[in-house]
Structures are given as structure tokens and as C-alpha cells.
Amino acid sequence: MPQSRTNLNPEPKSNLPYLTGVLLRYSTFAAAVLLFLAGLLLFNWWLILIGGFGVALGIYDLLQTKHAILSNYPVAGHIRYVLEDFRPEIRQYLLEDDKEQVPFSRQQRALVYQRAKNVSDTNAFGTLDDLYAHGKEWFLQSAVSQPLENKDFKIMVGGERCQQPHEMSVFNISAMSFGSLSANAVMALNQGAKIGGFTHDTGEGAISPHHRKFGGDLIWELGTGYFGCRDANGDFDAQSFAEKAVDPQVKMIEIKLSQGAKPGKGGVLPAEKITQEIADTRQVPLGQDCISPSSHTAFSTPRELVAFWQQLRELSGGKPVGFKLCIGQPWQFMAIVKAMIEMDNYPDFIVIDGAEGGTGAAPVEFMDNVGMPMVDGFLLVHNTLVGAGIRDKVRLGVSGKIVSGFDIARMIALGADWCNSARGFMFAVGCIQSRSCHTNTCPTGVATQDPYRQKALDVPSKAERVASFHKNTLKSLASIVGAVGLQHPSQLQPYHIARRLEDGQIKLLSKFFYFTDRGALLDQSARADVFNQMWVMSTADSFLADNDALIAYNKDSRDTGKQTQAPTLKAGDQATNDQANNNTTGIMMGNVNNTFRDFPPSSE
């Protein structure tokens, strides 16, 4: 180890250490001076220009007082800033491993590009994965696997109160707003959705003319700013909403409670990205930052949220209405579930956004340390609905780093009904993961309002790539479903996937993750008592926890003992033995953990 790191009072190796340091610090500036003088002596205008620029820059660096590095290292200090500016590109193109996910690996991005361009996505000479690594997962193929003819998998969304149910793909475009994305990117995504027959979520930035141009199916996301249907104070305007929601192109309405990139925090679209067109679309003033509050003003309790989604359902003419959230305090979601049950009014769908989501710019602390990851958040929602006995009444979608057929198959196996992808479709329209979405300097024209930058994004060709990415990803999903010996992704179950543990053991996901029993929360008999505790903490009248109820529950549990045995099926129960054997009823019960989910009847 160098002496300077171990000796607090090292002896100088030179009699002139200070002079040596000065010469090194100013050597680049001195070189510029010498270059300038040489140009004068030789009458070489190139040397004069280059040297003169270096001298002028060095003098400026010595006189300025804001940057210590430039004062101590005139001219040379700028090299540091240049390398820092290009560090992400240098790392991505020269240093990054193919499997290093920061946030998407080179292999993941290449897979999207290949499928979007309709070129071969096959590889040779074996996997790059370590198949014996901790956390490695794989599907268990069947001896009766077969290729599937149908690769365009659909599900129906719409509950009892819905008058206009929507048939949608199991893979759709996740929420990204016009304003965050360029007009050309929005048009390419929507035209691609039209070509491929899948659905495009508008994001909370309202429905723009670019969403309407090609007529692709839309999910209108309604955030805390109520953009596109707000009054002068920024509150929800029912009449304005009704006028837009009845448009046949709008297939579903989604209330955004929170988003994965920055849950619990509002959003900001900087004033420099707001054009007149964005201001008109969002109904906000020009020249000011566009603020999305951190919470809604249309409701403040779970019961009011239920009433709000019913209001939207009626105003839209009976279209499917649901909400999206990144799970935070679990008892708050359970409070919403209690309000659903007590008011006998259920959302048509819920979308669980994972904290790994990232199209929205956010502070590092929020991206890294706030919100629940997608799998954990989804399992809490799924288990709560199963435990409350209402999973069959609500469709569940998920979003968060989903780009491949395996990603979709895995989440559907865990219980999801469909998957959304934002960054996957951004890659399909040309995103190179430069991570400059919030700077208005996106190099590919995807996430910028600069008219010259976005002009480079050719809408017709990129729309074809969006459609091709969707089609080829579903083809990959169909290959997995067929290999497992099934006919539709919704037949996938957790016991179809194995996972290697840290000690080398292998477990099925049905044993690795916790799955509650149907109706267990209603009598606090969930085998994981933390679910019982969070359930009793929740109340339909408030998002705040009922700590007195929790104290009473814990006291009662100590006095009487916890009754958390898994319930068994009895004659007359809603789930019969025929259902447990996956017969003709269309209800599937996992043979390990009693997980229920609707699925289309088998083609057999």
C-alpha cells in the first residue's frame, strides 16, 4: 500500500514537492501556451487557433471561482467533466457485461430490438446464465408439450357493474404520458397498438391528438392532476371527463393512486418541456412547471374511492374502471378491499406497479428506497383478494421490468391476468437507455419535446416495430405455455416454475412464495398471521391504521391461541372436488396452496 495511505507524516521524496505539484497541475495549461507561441513563431494559423483557445480557456479557469477543480487544474479539469458527461455511454458501450442489468442488460435490450425488427432472436453455443446460481428460475416442461396454434392471447375485463367489457391482450403498453414522451413516440406506440390489436395506456398526461390519430385502443389514466378533465383549481371536472370518456376509442379508465418510479410523491413536468399543445391537452398554463399532487382531492377515504370509481363508471357509459398503485402500507390496500366488500362495489381491474418501474424521472432515494417491488406487491394484492374471497371479481395487471415471454409467463403463473410494459415498448421505438428522459435531450427523439430531435423518430416504421415486438413476444410466451403442456397462459400456476435457493435446494414457486387460502382473512385464519394482523388494522372508513383493533387482536390471540389452520373443503362448499381437479367449471385451484383464478375452458 502506498506510504501516503499508511503514514500520517511521510517524508517528502523530493526537495521540491510543492513545485512538482504545481508543474503537474498546470502542465496542460502550459502546453496550450507553448502551442500558441509555436504557432506565432511558425505563422501556423491552426496552432494559433488551437493554442489560443487553450490559453483563453486556462485564463478563464484561473479567474473563475465556482469550480475548485478548474482553478487547480486549468484546461485539464475540463477533461474530467467531459468524461463524467459521457460516463453512461462509455459504460454501456465499452464496459458493461451482457447480463449486467443497469437497469436493463444489453441482452434484454438486444432481445427487444431483434423482435421489433423481425430478425432472428435465437442464440448459439449455450446460455450465458449461471444455471446453478442462487435465485435462478425455470419452467418445468411437460412430456406432452405441443406447439400452440393460437398465439394472440386475450382476456375479458369487466365486472358485474360494467356495461362495456373490454377484450384485451395479455401484453399491453404501460402508462407513459404525452409530455414525457414526444408526439412522434406516442403516435408510433398507438399505431403499433392498432396494428397489433393490443391496448395503449395514456399515462396521466391526458388524451392528446396524437393518441387519437390512429385510433388504437386506449386506457385513460386519471392521475392526481386530473389532466384533461380538471377545473380552474385543478380539481376533477365530471362534465369534462364524461365528454371525453364516452369516446369509443377509450376502452377503460384507470385511477392512478401511485406509480412505481416515485410512489408517494407527485410528478413534475418541467416548464421547458411544456409546449402549447401539451398545455392545451393537460389544461394547464404555459410557461410553468406542471405539477401532479402527491394525492387525490376527489376522495380521501376508501369508501370515497369506491364511490369515485362508480362515478367514473357511470360517466363513461359503463366502461371498465380500475386503479393502479405501487403498494406501500399494506393495510391501506386492505382498507380499500374492505370498502369494496361493505359497499358491494368492485373495481373491474387493479394494476400493480412495481418499484422497479422507471419511465418517470424521480429522486434517487425514491427510486431506490420507496415502494414495494412488483412481485411482492402483486402477491400482497392477490393474496388479499383471495383471502377476502373476491379474487374472481377483479382482474389484476402488473408492470415493472417486463420485456420477455418468460417475464409475462412468470407473472401470470403467480396469478396475474395480464402484463404491461413501458420501457420494453420504448426500446421498440428506438430508446437506447441513455437515461436522459428528464433533460429534454433524448438522443433518439423518444422522450423529448425538442421538435428537431423527435423529428428523427419515423412514425410508420417505428409503429411496425412496436407491433412486431408485441407479436414476437407473444409467440415466445406461446412457446413456453405449449412446452408446459397447456393451452392458455392463464392455466399457468406457481408449481410450473422451480427456483434454486441459496443453499442449492430447489423449490417450486408454490412452496417458495406464500399463498393464502380462500376466504381466510374473513375469519382471520390466514396461515401467515401477519396477514391477519394487517387485515384487522384496516378499516373501510380511513386509510389510517386502526391500532386499537390490532392490540385487541393480539391480546385475543394470546388468550385463546391463534387459529390459523388451513381450511379444508367440505360438502357444499363453493369450491368442489371437481373444481379442484380443474374440470369444466373454469375455476382453477392450485393443488398445493388453494389459489383460485378464472381461466378459459380447455380446448379438450
Residue 376 sits in the same domain as residue 472: yes
Residue 318 sits in the same domain as residue 454: yes
H or E element at residue 430: none
- Of the residues 417, 445, 476, the one at which a domain ends: 476
Residue 415 sits in the same domain as residue 336: yes
Position 387 scores a pLDDT of 97
Q: Which residues contact 461 (CB under 8 A, 6 or more apart)?
A: none
Tell me the CA distances in angstroms from 505 to 126, 134, 228, 593, one per residue in order: 23, 9, 53, 20
Position 66 scores a pLDDT of 80
Residue 442 sits in the same domain as residue 353: yes
Q: Scanning the structure block, which residue is given the C-alpha cell 373490454? A: 166
Please indicate, yes or no, if residue 248 is contained in any of the structural domains: yes
Position 583 scores a pLDDT of 37
Residue 441 sits in the same domain as residue 321: yes
How far does CA 259 lie from the centroid of its chain?
A: 8
Residue 428 sits in the same domain as residue 313: yes
Position 289 scores a pLDDT of 84
Q: Shortest CA distance to 208 belongs to which of 192, 185, 231, 224?
A: 185
- Residue 566 is classified by DSSP as P
Residue 194 sits in the same domain as residue 56: no
Say if CB 333 and CB 381 are below 8 A apart.
yes
Residue 398 sits in the same domain as residue 340: yes
Please indicate, yes or no, if residue 490 is contained in any of the structural domains: no
- Residue 542 is classified by DSSP as B
Please indicate, yes or no, if residue 157 is contained in any of the structural domains: no
Domain range for residue 544? 518-560
Mean pLDDT of the chain: 87
Position 479 scores a pLDDT of 96
- Of the residues 444, 476, 508, the one at which a domain ends: 476
Please indicate, yes or no, if residue 49 is contained in any of the structural domains: yes
Residue type at position 176: M
Residue 342 sits in the same domain as residue 453: yes
CB atoms within 10 A of CB 565: 10
Position 366 scores a pLDDT of 80
H or E element at residue 387: helix 374-387
What cell was used for 570?
367440505
pLDDT digits (tens, 9 = 90+) for 141-165: 999 998 999 999 999 999 999 999 9
Residue 424 sits in the same domain as residue 529: no
- Residue 604 is classified by DSSP as -
Residue 379 sits in the same domain as residue 261: yes
Q: What are phi and psi of 175, to 5 degrees?
A: -65, 120
Position 101 scores a pLDDT of 66
Q: What is the 3-state secondary structure (H, E, C) of 155-203?
A: EEECCCCCCCCEEEECEEECCCCECCECHHHHHHHHHHHHHHCCCEECC
Residue 449 sits in the same domain as residue 552: no
- Of the residues 45, 64, 96, the one at which a domain ends: 96
Position 439 scores a pLDDT of 80
Please indicate, yes or no, if residue 570 is contained in any of the structural domains: no
At 449, which CATH number? 3.20.20.70
Ranges of H-type helices in 43-105? 45-63, 68-72, 77-85, 87-90
How many domains is the chain partitioned into structurally?
A: 3
Please indicate, yes or no, if residue 577 is contained in any of the structural domains: no
Pairing of the two strands 596-598 and 587-589: antiparallel
User: The whole model's pTM is what?
Assistant: 0.83
Please indicate, yes or no, if residue 123 is contained in any of the structural domains: no
Burial of 116 (0-12, 13-18, 19+ CB in 10 A): buried
| Dist. CA 471–CA 465, nearest whole Å | 10
- Mapped onto helix, strand or coil, the DSSP state of residue 208 is coil
Position 576 scores a pLDDT of 39
H or E element at residue 419: strand 418-421
Say if CB 145 and CB 154 are below 8 A apart.
no
The mean pLDDT values, 10 residues at a time, for the chain of 604 residues are 57 61 79 90 88 91 85 86 74 66 83 92 81 93 92 95 97 94 96 98 95 97 95 94 97 95 79 87 88 91 98 98 96 98 98 84 79 95 98 96 96 97 94 82 88 91 97 97 96 97 94 96 94 96 93 79 47 41 34 47 40
* Cis, bond preceding 103 (omega within 30 deg of 0): yes
Please indicate, yes or no, if residue 202 is contained in any of the structural domains: yes
H or E element at residue 495: none
Position 559 scores a pLDDT of 66
Pairing of the two strands 267-269 and 290-292: antiparallel
